Chain A
Amino acid sequence: MVRDVVGRAAVTLYEAAFNLAERPMRFAQKALGVHRLAWVFLLPNLLIFGLFTYLPILLNIWYANTAGDRILPTERDWVGGANFASLMDCESYLDPNTCRRDLFWRAVHNTGWFVVLQVGFMILLSLIAALILNRNIPLKGFFRAVFFYPVLLSPVVVALIWKWILQRNGVLNAGLDGIGLPTVNWLLDPSWAFFWIVFVSIWANMGFYVLILLAGLQAIPGEVYEAAEMDGTPAWRQLVRITLPLLTPTLLVVMVLSLIRAVQAFDEIYVLTGGGPGSATTLLIQYIYDVGFATRPRQFGLAAAASLIMAGVLFVLTMAQLAATRKRGEEG
């Protein structure tokens, strides 16, 4: 009874609102035409996008082509592509020491290795974890929560927790010392520091991708496996011939997302190592931050040019992956 009354009231309200809007809409439609009216509805979103997305991109392009430490665009000197030329000035792109901006190329190399290792291992480990969690194991819900929990933490908190573990007198060294093993300055050795930023980044983000892959696994129809079982197909063959092919669209999504996220990695690494020792863990975003904001005088132009180069690379990678996804989708 009450539900009926509330329902009727809602319908009446909806009709009243609709009638109220009908007349001005009809007028607008008459004045602008059906096709142009669509722009009226798009306008608010376009304005928001324009203001907060496209305008900053245009500003970034302006900054990349100007020099000086002034913030106001009108006070900056136009230098054309000088910042890009300075960044790309290298005898060999494989050896940062031969580059005019060696720190930029060190950051590019570090980012490349970081992306390859972090994305590769994270997808592999996420897949293994998802496959295990998709089975009927005891405490399944608990383990799913355990994997997902780090995703809920702020990157700064993640970095501080691991710093506490890895520092000279940290938990890890205390444990090693306790069992009579030699201790290591984990964050002061360039190789170890790089290993740990990859490890911590995987630890912090893996749960998110496990969840996506788990959803993908659960979307695979059970009948397919039942048929395979009836045919006597061994488990590893089911994995290779059924699970992985049917999971490929999900894996591509995971790859695109994790790749973009890996290239953008900054906060947890900055707090954990500060980009050191030396520049061993300095990635591209930190280079941009250092050049544009941390050093004095600030070199906004160089930072903007570096960010545009990075955006270009990301764009190409994402397009390539989307094209691969589309091709696979068309192939069926």
Chain B
Amino acid sequence: MRKTIAVSACALLAAGAVQAQELRFMCYQDGVECDAWADAFQTFEAENPGITVAVDVVPFQAIIESLPVQLEVGEGPDLARITDYGGLARFLLDVRPFVSDPDAIEARYGQSLAWSRVGDNSADGIYHIVDQLTATGGFANATLFEQAGVDLPGPGATWDEWAEASRAVRDATGVDFAMAIDRTGHRFAAPAMSWGAALFGEDGDALLIDDGFRAFSEQFLAWHEDGTLAPDVWVGAGGGSYQDAAGEFTNANLVMYYSGSWQIGRFGRDIGDAFDWVATGGICGPVACTGMPGGAGIAGFTRTGHPEAVGKLIEFIARDDVQAEVLARTSNLPANALLQESGIDYADVSDDVRAALTAFAASVPGFSDTAFALQGYQFNRAVYTNIPARITQAIVGELTLDAALDRLAQDVADAIAEAR
């Protein structure tokens, strides 16, 4: 009898240990993404007794700097919200064997799933689900345009038209800056492609310095020389560090700001009804009108002790109803093709925010194939961090533009060689 009780107790304990699975989810947020997921996971936990999800909210810097180190030494969370798919590709868990309907996920997220299918990863693996599709694009202070009596350039306007109009508004209203572009190669790449930059060489590697890339670089320097672009953004930082100009735009000190859709929620919250602002939609160069896609996604890691539970959670995250609810709350663009078609019912957002979301969503189909290729390129971070370092040297006169571009190509080639 005593033996039976002991065996039963052991069995119960063992069963409990098997069933109680806690997944740790490392999450960063631009707005309320982590809060929205934490709430959504309550439904998941109710549907999957025995699996709990602990959401650890961390700064973006922790995702970029700490997470790779943790994963490298075999530590870290079970899942995380990431943006560097290529850099983390070798740590990502292919959940295809653990989801009930991989084809449905493929049909909805096929384009963004490709971003993790690099290196040794499987060509049909399901490694992450994008929960925040982003698109680069411009924002304009409509109130300043109105005060200056300058017409807002319409859809399809060129960079030159925006620069001219922004300068006119700056001069008429007395604000400090006409235009600003975030200090990162990700933002630089979009207009460079619009100037005809192919970015990739025949060997399939970046970074090709061709006539298009050189032409936009010259234009970029010229805009700094004539004061069109705010020097504080690119000149005011060193190395490959990121710098935005969201604060200047929010403070109505900047006429036109080239950033991305992830700023929409922030602008809606911080600007409120202080002034009217609009999304510019796609801006055209001499060759194309492309922006850059991107986005944050949720991925599981191979180090997890609960791959099946991670698979279940990823499948839950990919669900149309779950995505729709979270996207409505976070005011983000869907990567889910079905939701892109049907649209998201963004509740409780201002007209500015709603219009901006529509404008950015409409611009994505016009993005070039090169833009999507760069986003899915395994070594795109080498491109993104080296462009600001070298181009800024040319702006401040440390290097000639030719020397800066030569050095840039060499830096990217060195970084790729190091990673291989």
What residues of chain A have their CB less than 8 Å away from a CB belonging to chain B? 67-72, 97, 102-103, 106, 168, 185, 187-188, 190, 273-282, 286, 290, 293-297, 299, 301-302
Contact = CB atoms under 8 A, between A and B. Distances in A.
8 contacts: A274-B236, A274-B237, A276-B235, A278-B398, A279-B393, A279-B398, A295-B239, A296-B84
A275 B176 CA distance: 24
Nearest to A300: B418
Contacts of A282: 238-239
Most buried by A among B243, B379, B386, B415: B415
A87 to B, nearest CB: 12
A277 B235 contact: yes
Interface string B387-404: 001001101111100010
B385 interface: yes
B236 A299 contact: no
Most buried by A among B65, B235, B243: B235
A24 B222 CA distance: 81
Contacts of B414: 299
A273 B396 contact: no
Chief secondary structure at chain B's binding surface: helix
B338 interface: no
A71 B72 contact: yes
Contacts of B334: none
Given A69-B419, A97-B403, A297-B379, A275 B238 contact: yes
B237 A276 contact: yes
A296 B398 contact: no
A82 to B, nearest CB: 11
A297 B231 contact: no
Most buried by A among B238, B386, B416: B238
Interface in B228-282: 231-232, 235-241, 243
Size bracket, chain B contacts = 35 or more
Most buried by B among A103, A275, A297: A297
B69 A276 contact: no
Contacts of B385: 294-296
A297 B381 contact: yes
Contacts of A286: 238-239
A295 B390 CA distance: 13
B293 interface: no
Contact of B238 (A185, A276, A295): A276
Contacts, number: 108
A188 B407 contact: no
Interface string B13-39: 000000000000000000000000000
Nearest to B237: A274
B241 A299 contact: no
A67 B240 contact: no
A275 to B, nearest CB: 3
Nearest to A269: B238
Nearest to A67: B418
Contacts of A294: 239-241, 385
B327 to A, nearest CB: 28
Given A71-B69, A295-B382, A297-B381, A276 B419 contact: no
Contacts of B399: 97
Given A188-B231, A296-B382, A72 B239 contact: no
Most buried by A among B381, B396, B399, B416: B396
B395 A168 contact: no
Contacts of B416: 297
Given A68-B419, A71-B72, A72-B73, A281 B386 contact: no
B87 interface: yes
Given A295-B385, A295-B386, A296-B382, A290 B407 contact: no
Given A168-B176, A277-B236, A277-B392, A297 B382 contact: yes
B241 A102 contact: no
Contacts of A276: 235-239, 392, 396
A277 B418 contact: no
Contacts of B236: 187-188, 274, 276-277
A106 B389 CA distance: 13
Most buried by B among A69, A71, A296: A296
A297 B176 CA distance: 36
Given A71-B69, A280-B398, 9 more contacts: A71-B73, A97-B403, A190-B398, A279-B393, A282-B239, A286-B238, A294-B239, A295-B385, A296-B382
> Which 7 A-B pairs rank lowest in CB-CB distance, beginning with the nearest?
A275-B238, A296-B381, A276-B238, A297-B419, A278-B396, A274-B238, A71-B72
Nearest to B379: A297
Contacts of B235: 188, 276-278
A300 B32 CA distance: 35
Contacts of A302: 418
Nearest to B415: A297
Most buried by A among B73, B232, B379: B232
Given A71-B69, A282-B239, A299-B418, A185 B381 contact: no
A274 B392 contact: no
Nearest to A299: B418
A276 B399 CA distance: 14
Given A102-B407, A296-B87, A277 B72 contact: no
B238 A279 contact: yes
A68 B239 contact: no
Contacts of A71: 69, 72-73
Contacts of A187: 236
A90 to B, nearest CB: 14
A72 B392 contact: no
A19 B414 CA distance: 66
A80 B127 CA distance: 37
Nearest to B64: A296
A103 B404 CA distance: 12
